[in-house]
Amino acid sequence: MPIVEVSFTDLQRLARKNISSEELLKALELMKGEVEEVSGDSIVFEASHDRPDLFSAEGLGRALRYLLGVEEPPSAPPVSGDMTELRIVNPPRYRPYAYISIVKGVELDDEAIRQLFQLQEKLHATYCRDRALVSIGLYDLDKVKPPIIYTSVSDGRYVPLGYSEEMSLKEILEKTEKGVKYAHLVKEGEYPLLTDSEGQVLSFPPILNAEWNKVTPETKNIIIDVTGTEPHLMMRVLNVMTYAVLERGYGKALIMRAKVVGGAPDNPYPTTPHLEGKLFSVHVEDAESLLGLRVSAEDIPVLLKRMGYAVTSITSDGVRVWVPPYRVDVHGVVDIIEDLAISYGYNELPTETLPPTHFSGRSSIEHLTRIIRDIMVGLGFDEVVNFMLIDPDILKLVTDEPFVTVANPKMKTYSALRNCMLASILIAGKVNSEKMGEVEVFEVGDYVIPKQHDAESVRGMAFLLMGDKYTLTDGLVTAKSVALTLGLEYRFEPYEGKPYIRGRAAKVFLNDVEVGRVGEVHPEVLVELRLTKPVVAGEFNLTKILREIIERK
Amino acid sequence: MGLMEEERVLLPERQYRLVKALAGMGGRAEASRLAEAVGRKQSDIMRDLAELESKNLVKVLRVKTWHVCLSPDGRRYLKEGLPEERLLKIVGVRREFPSVKELAKACGLSRNEFAAAFGRLRKYGAVKVVSGKVIYSGDGVEKLLSDIRRTRELLGNISECIHVRELPEWVAELKRRGMVEVTESRVVEVEATETLRELLEAGRVSEAPLITRITSEVIVSGKWRGAILKEFDLSIEVPVKYPSRKHPYVEFLNHVREVVESMGFVEAKGPHVETALWNFDVLFVPQYHPARRESDVYFVAGETVGVAPSDVLERTREVHERVWKYRWDPREALKLVLRTHTTPVSMRTIYSRKEGEYRVYSLDRVFRPDTPDPTHLMEFHQLEGIIVGKHVTFKHLLGFFKEFAKRLGLGEVRFRPAYFPFTEPSVEGYIKHPKLGWIEVFPGGMFRPEVLYAVGLKGHNVAAWGIGIDRIAMMVLNMNDIRNLYTNDVGIIRSTPLPKEVMR
Query: pLDDT by residue (tens digit) across B307-339?
Result: 999 999 999 999 999 999 888 999 999 999 999
Size of interface A-B (CB pairs under 8 A): 270
**Residue A523: phi, psi to the nearest 5?**
-55, -35
Domain boundaries, chain A: 1-70, 76-272, 279-346, 364-550
Domain boundary among B135, B163, B191: B163
Rounded Cα distance between B48 and B60, Å, is 11
The Cα A100–Cα A223 span in angstroms is: 7
Distance from CA of B283 to the nearest CA of A (A): 14
- Strands A79-89 and A148-153: what pairing? parallel
Which has the closest alpha carbon to B283: B351, B347, B338? B347
Same domain, B370 and B231: no
Alpha-carbon distance of A101 to A108, in angstroms, equals 18
| Chain A touched by B280 (CB under 8 Å) | no
List of chain B residues whose C-beta atoms are within 8 Å of the C-beta of residue A408: 294, 298-299, 369
State the CB neighbour count (10 A cutoff) for residue A358: 12
| Orientation angle between helical segments B394-407 and B248-262, nearest 10 degrees | 130
Residue A216: exposed, middle, or buried by beta-carbon count in 10 A (0-12, 13-18, 19+)? exposed
Mean pLDDT of A338-350: 96
- Tell me whether residue B58 is in a domain: yes
Q: How far apart are CA A240 and CA A546, in angstroms?
A: 56
Q: Is residue B147 part of a domain?
A: yes
Indicate whether B37 belongs to any domain: yes
CB of B474 within 8 A of CB of B485? Answer: yes
Q: Which is more confident, B238 or A44?
A: A44
B234 and B360 assigned to the same domain: no
User: A48 in contact with B at a CB cutoff of 8 Å?
Assistant: yes
Amino acid making up residue A129: R
Model pLDDT, residue B393? 97
At residue B258's C-alpha, the angle toward residues B254 and B259, to 5°, is 115
Query: What is the per-residue pLDDT for A277?
Result: 93
Measured from the Cβ of residue B492, the count of other Cβ atoms closer than 10 Å reads 16
- In terms of domains, do B390 and B377 share one? yes
Pair (B481, B361) in one structural domain: yes
| Together in a domain, B33 and B82 | no
Beta bridge partners, B429, equal B415, B442
Mean pLDDT across A246-255: 96
Model pLDDT, residue A89: 95
Q: Render pLDDT for A99-130 as a digit per residue (tens, 0 to 9).
A: 999 999 999 999 999 999 999 999 999 889 89
> Residue B489 and residue A431: Cβ atoms within 8 Å?
yes
Say if residue B138's pLDDT is above 80: no
B448 touches chain A (CB under 8 A): yes
Are B376 and B233 members of one domain? no
- Residue pLDDT, tens place only, A155-197: 999 999 999 999 999 999 999 999 999 999 999 999 999 999 9
Same domain, yes or no: B39 and B60:
yes
- Judge residue B30's burial from the number of C-beta atoms within 10 Å of its C-beta, 0-12 exposed, 13-18 middle, 19 or more buried: middle
Can the peptide bond before residue A217 be classed as cis, meaning omega within 30 degrees of 0? no
pLDDT tens per residue across span B209-264: 888 888 999 899 988 887 888 888 888 888 888 889 999 999 999 999 999 999 99
Residue B2 has pLDDT above 70, yes or no: no
- Convert the pLDDT of each residue in A291-313 to its tens digit: 999 999 889 999 999 999 999 99
Mean pLDDT taken over chain A: 95
pLDDT of residue A28 exceeding 60: yes
**Options 3.30.450.40, 3.30.56.10, 2.40.40.20, 2.60.120.10; CATH of A279-346:** 3.30.56.10
Q: What is the pLDDT of residues A478-494, one digit of tens each?
A: 999 999 999 999 999 99
Specify the pLDDT at position B497.
Answer: 83
End-to-end CA distance of chain A: 53
Q: What pLDDT sits at residue B197?
A: 92
ipTM of this complex: 0.92
Residue B454 domain-assigned (yes or no)? yes
The third-level CATH classification (topology) of the domain covering A76-272 is Phenylalanyl-tRNA Synthetase; Chain B, domain 3 (3.50.40)
Band of residue A72 on the pLDDT scale cut at 50, 70, 90: very high
- Written as one letter, the residue type at A109 is D
For residue B436, the enclosing domain spans 248-271+341-493
Q: Under an 8 A CB cutoff, do A453 and B306 touch?
A: yes
B240 CB burial (10 A radius; 0-12, 13-18, 19+): exposed
User: If you average pLDDT over every residue of chain B, what do you get?
Assistant: 90
Q: Best residue in A387, A447, A543 to probe B by mutation, most B CBs within 10 Å?
A: A387
Task: With cut-offs at 50, 70 and 90, classify the pLDDT of residue A553.
Answer: low
pLDDT score of B7 more than 80 = no
Q: Quick one: B364 and B350 in the same domain?
A: yes
pLDDT tens profile B93-136: 888 888 888 888 888 888 888 888 888 888 888 888 888 888 88
Task: Mark yes or no for CB contact A32/B419 under 8 Å.
Answer: yes
Kindly report the CATH number assigned to the domain that includes residue B195: 1.10.10.10
**Closest residue of chain A to B246, computed from CA coordinates:** A383
Which three-class secondary structure state does DSSP give residue B250?
helix
CA angle A67, A138, A266 (to 5 degrees): 90
Of B424, B417, B409, B464, which is closest to residue B440 (Cα–Cα)? B417
Q: Which CATH architecture has domain A364-550?
A: 2-Layer Sandwich (3.30)
Contact between B462 and B387 (Cβ < 8 Å) = yes
Interchain proximity A358–B461, CB inside 8 Å: no
Choose, out of B253, B424, B428, B494, the residue to mutate when testing the contact with A (most A CBs < 10 Å): B424
Side chain identity at B317, as an amino acid letter?
R
Lowest mean pLDDT, pick from A383-392, B273-282, B291-300: B291-300
How confident is the model at residue B106, as a pLDDT?
82
Average pLDDT of the residues in A62-87: 94
> Is the four-CA dihedral B226, B232, B233, B239 of positive or negative sign?
positive
Q: Is the pLDDT of residue A347 over 50?
A: yes
Domain count, chain B: 4
Q: Does residue B398 sit in the same domain as residue B479?
A: yes
Has residue B296 been placed in a domain?
no
The answer to whether the CB atoms of B257 and A439 lie below 8 A apart is no
Helix (H) or strand (E) holding A61: helix A57-67
Please state, in angstroms and rounded to a whole number, the distance separating the CA atoms of residues B108 and B114. Answer: 9
- Cβ contact B302:B367 at 8 Å: no
Q: pLDDT band at A455, cuts 50/70/90?
A: very high
Q: Is B3's Cβ below 8 Å from some Cβ in A?
A: no
CATH number, domain containing residue B141: 1.10.10
β-bridge pairing B228-229 and B266-267: unpaired
Element (H, E) at B18: helix B13-24
Distance CA A462, CA A452 (A): 26
Q: Find out if CATH 3.10.20.30 is the number for domain A1-70.
A: no
pLDDT of residue B503: 60
Residue B425, preceding peptide bond in cis (omega within 30° of 0): yes
Examine the domain organization and report whether B196 and B217 are in the same domain.
Answer: no
DSSP H helical ranges for A310-447:
333-344, 364-378, 392-398, 422-433
**Any domain includes B320:** no
Among A369-373, B160-164, B273-277, B438-442, the minimum mean pLDDT is found in: B160-164
Nearest to B417 among A32, A383, A389 (CB): A32
Q: How confident is the model at residue B1 (pLDDT cuts 50, 70, 90)?
A: very low
Which of A217-221, A254-258, B346-350, B490-494 shows the lowest per-residue confidence on average (mean pLDDT)?
B490-494
pLDDT over threshold 60, residue A73: yes
Shared domain for B100 and B130, answered yes or no, is yes
φ, ψ for residue A390, nearest 5 deg? -150, 165
pLDDT-derived band at B187, boundaries 50, 70, 90? confident
Is A351 an 8 Å CB contact of chain B?
Answer: yes
User: In which order are the strands placed within the sheet that holds B96-97?
Assistant: B96-97, B133-136, B127-130
CA distance B452 to B282: 8
- CATH number of the domain within which B435 lies: 3.30.930.10
> Which pLDDT tens digit goes with each residue over B69-100?
888 888 888 888 888 888 888 888 888 888 88
Rounded to the nearest 10°, the torsion over CA A79, A80, A82, A84 is -50
Asked if residue B93 is part of any domain, the answer here is yes
Same domain, B148 and B226: no
**What is the share, in percent, of chain B residues with pLDDT greater than 90?**
52
Task: Indicate if A279-346 has the same CATH topology as A1-70.
Answer: yes
| Cis ω before A273 (30° cut-off from 0) | yes
